Amino acid sequence: MGSERTSPCALRLTNPGLLFDTGAQLLFLPSYSPDLNLTEEAFSKIKSIVRKVGAHTRKALEEAIAAAISAVTPEGAAGWFAHAGYEPQDQPM
């Protein structure tokens, strides 16, 4: 076997029936934009809260990070998904 690898971006869906027969959906994502990136939205909120605390010790920083992460709620995440154009779907977690 050669060391060549095919990028997943370059692969074609040769038999879409196999995918769709499972009930899966194929969604095309928009081109990259920080405004539509869910991770950017979450980290922006976390960084904002941590900066607001202004921790000056490692312990205070760890507590601020824990509080900031706890502030990321399912409702907030759902809002980021909606903002990025993803349709909400009821799925068990």
* pLDDT of 52: 96
**In the chain, domain spans:** 33-86
* pLDDT of 91: 60
pLDDT digits (tens, 9 = 90+) for 21-74: 888 887 776 666 766 678 888 899 999 999 999 999 999 999 999 999 999 999
Could you please report the per-residue DSSP string of the chain? --S----GGG---S-HHHHHTTT----PPPPP-GGG-HHHHHHHHHHHHHHHHT--SHHHHHHHHHHHHHT--HHHHHHHHHHTTPPP-----
What would the two tokens of residue 27 be?
């969604």
* pLDDT of 62: 96
* pLDDT of 1: 45
Supply the pTM of this predicted model: 0.55
* pLDDT of 3: 47
